[in-house]
Chain A
């Protein structure tokens, strides 16, 4: 059974860089079958996709692109998130998740089929 676990500081100071790691167990992050993504949820609010990484590249939410870096570490079976110049608006529960394509076609989208439990990151002033 695939499992994902987020780790990192729960408190980050305003203007600094938020860094999180997702450790994957029960399966390999290598290969072309899957994407690996980050989603966040501000307290009491809805879900927001942040960005995703796969074996040959990354794609980011356009509004966060200038502050965001997501990378894969296949040797450790991990992927990571770095979000720079954080503000209070970046306070949220951050989830890592696997994206899986169930089929092929221009309009087929990968779904987030496995999720980590989430980690609350608070940005303090």
Chain B
């Protein structure tokens, strides 16, 4: 039921760069609404990783960065580390549903 589409999985070797896309529509990202990103380590609650497309909360390494292009947003992880293995979710607002919406989620695997 999510309106924000993410790839189910991405993988990379330690030190590499991976990107996760979050594709929306004209009623959410395309309408100009914010996108936030969350990291969920196995068996734990989600943690805010990026807010307002590009801002990092205190304590989040600068290896994590966000961007926007049209009706999509992206999360990039550079210098991939074993501790980055987790599920990642984008989040925005859908004006046609009047709901906050999460992306479908992406599992990052460190090879």
Contact = CB atoms under 8 A, between A and B. Distances in A.
A115 interface: yes
A95 B51 CA distance: 19
A73 interface: no
Q: How large is the interface on B (under 10, 10 to 19, 20 to 34, 35 or more residues)?
A: 20 to 34
A62 interface: yes
Given A46-B2, A46-B89, A102-B55, A111 B101 contact: no
Interface in A36-50: 37, 39, 46-49
Contact of A49 (B45, B100, B105): B100
Contacts, number: 71
B64 interface: no
Q: How large is the interface on A (under 10, 10 to 19, 20 to 34, 35 or more residues)?
A: 20 to 34
Interface in B70-98: 89, 91-93, 97-98
Interface of B: 1-2, 31-34, 36, 38, 44-48, 51-52, 55, 57, 89, 91-93, 97-105
Given A49-B101, A62-B99, A118-B45, 18 more contacts: A46-B102, A46-B103, A46-B104, A47-B38, A47-B91, A47-B105, A48-B1, A61-B100, A102-B51, A103-B52, A106-B32, A109-B36, A111-B48, A112-B38, A112-B46, A113-B48, A115-B47, A116-B45
30 contacts: A37-B100, A39-B102, A47-B38, A47-B46, A47-B89, A48-B1, A48-B102, A49-B91, A49-B101, A49-B102, A61-B100, A62-B98, A62-B99, A95-B46, A102-B52, A107-B33, A108-B52, A109-B91, A109-B92, A109-B100, A111-B36, A111-B51, A111-B52, A111-B91, A112-B36, A112-B46, A113-B48, A115-B45, A115-B47, A118-B45
